[in-house]
Amino acid sequence: MPDTPHHSPAEPTRSARSTASPPPPPPPGGTRPKPPTAPPTPTPTTPTITPTNPTAPTTPHPRYLTLFRIPEFRAVFLAHLCSLLGTVVSEIALTVLVFALTGSPFLSALAFALGLLPYLLGGTLLAGLADRYPARRVLVGCDLVCAACVAVMALPVTPVAGLLALRVVLALVAPVFAGTRMATLGDILGDGDAFVLGRSLLRIVSQTALLGGYGVGGLLLVLVPPRGALLVTLATFLGSATLLRLGTRRRPARARTAAGGLVRDSLSGVRAVLALRGPRLALLLFWLPPAFAVVPEGLAAPYAASLGVSGAGLGLLLAAISAGMITGELLAGTLLTPAARARLALPLAALGTLPLALCLLRPGYLPLLALLFVTGASAAYTLGLDRWFVDSVPVELRGRAMTVQTAGLMTAQGLGTALAGAVAERLDPHLVVAGAGLLGTVCCLPLALAARRARRVPDARGPKDETGLTTI
């Protein structure tokens, strides 16, 4: 059927014009009445950012369990479990394998440290991958690269130098994968509270892996040799790639144009993110509190020895902060509204390490566990900060921003642990931990105040929408 021509209400058709009654004459001494005017054109409004997944939650206050109703999120969550298990098993297996081949504690420790040191390099030089190519292709590609590296590690002919070099490749890929996955959550869940809870769930799983994953990996090495354990890692990376390939939708790349080569594009993206005041402050708040809060974990062995504790007691010291982080995030995500989480974000970020200052009083073992638990629970500030961060970063830079955030976090924790260890060569562990608590507060409090001021003055180069911290 041919299209019906459209006519404006103010312009009747010819047939309508011929049959219409003539306008009434003007009243005596009056004027002809004005013809009816067209209704005013509605003012266009700025479109809101909505998830590209039609099954994303639309309730104003989603919960953790409602996220699992979304098939794509289930795929990302299960893939995260697979890759996390593979990473934990490979770290233990590679450390044990290098020690078995060389008998060198230094090379064995180096095999573990190489999983952290290249994070900053990969997070800056390769960050452009997260926005330059479709997210699903990047995620699956990263998993396949990791699987290929682990497959070569498992070969009996691979020398120690080759094992260490492949370990570096795994660490270079890790921040790109993590940043792309976090940015993909925004595509799946949207930019609201569902995204915040989704990121929180992935962090909770990661912390849970720290509590139990290494024990599972150690048990696996009792049953199979190190190279056999690496085959388990190979299977987990392939499983993750399969879940992401089949369980998520193909979406176009976020950055429509690429500024030259990959390294140039990555560095220009990092500079663009850091040039925006809001994201820059948010990144510093993501990095600095954990850099100080990790100090007790780095000094757990000498601190436990100073208290006359070993074995299981040392394990509880190592687990206390992670247990606090899991508890804090679960309670904040379950019991608090988004507005309440936003109000608590900056106070928790600013004062979260302050309980460690009480170590100056040389508390006993149980009070020390409580202080570490409370310090870990303050990490719930990230739920409020996540919303601000994702709202303040332009969409075309989001993948690179998430990659930089991941790389900076790992680097900050590594530097914090190393510096604390160096200071502990001359001071007692309780003094170093207390100093980290005080110094953390001194550094983070001005940042939190600056962030509070920044949310009142939107960055001219960034998005104009309200941030998650507007209720503070």
Average pLDDT over the chain reads 82
% of the chain surpassing 70 pLDDT: 81
Where is average pLDDT lowest: 65-74, 310-319, 339-348? 310-319
**Which pLDDT score is estimated for 103?**
85
In this predicted structure, the answer to whether residue 235 has a pLDDT above a threshold of 90 is: yes
pLDDT in tens, 94-152: 888 888 888 887 787 777 777 777 888 888 888 888 888 999 999 999 999 999 999 99
Inform me whether the pLDDT recorded for 17 exceeds 70.
no
Phi, then psi, of 317 in degrees rounded to 5: -60, -40
259 — pLDDT class (breaks 50, 70, 90): low
Cα-Cα-Cα-Cα torsion 142, 147, 148, 151, nearest 10 degrees, comes to 160
Position 121 scores a pLDDT of 86
75-79, 199-203, 375-379, 457-461: which has the minimum mean pLDDT?
Answer: 457-461
Residue 283 · residue 411 · CB < 8 Å: no
> Which residue, 388, 415, 417, is CA-closest to 401?
388
> Which residue did the predictor score with more confidence, 12 or 213?
213
User: What tens digit of pLDDT does each residue of 418-472 get?
Assistant: 888 889 889 999 999 999 999 999 999 999 999 988 866 544 444 444 444 443 3
What SS3 class is residue 89? helix
Q: How far lies 345's CA from each of 134, 435, 470, in Å?
A: 32, 23, 11
Mean pLDDT of 203-226: 78
Q: What is the pLDDT of residue 99?
A: 86
Residue 40 has pLDDT above 50, yes or no: no
pLDDT (average), residues 201-205? 91
Q: Is the pLDDT of residue 382 over 70?
A: yes
CA–CA dist 337, 326 (Å, integer): 18
Distance CA 170, CA 162 (A): 12
Q: Is the CB of residue 160 less than 8 Å from the CB of residue 107?
A: yes
Rounded distance between C-alpha atoms, residue 219 and residue 216, angstroms: 5
Which pLDDT score is estimated for 43?
A: 41
> CA–CA separation, 129 vs 242, rounded Å?
20
CA distance 324 to 377: 4
Give whole-number Cα distances, 354 to 209, 284, 358, 435, in Å. Answer: 26, 18, 8, 10
Q: What is the pLDDT at residue 53?
A: 55
How far apart CA 419 and CA 416 sit, in angstroms, is 5
The pLDDT score that the predictor gives to residue 20 is 43
Q: Give the separation between CA 318 and CA 425, rounded to whole angstroms.
A: 20
**According to the model, what pLDDT value does residue 315 have?**
78
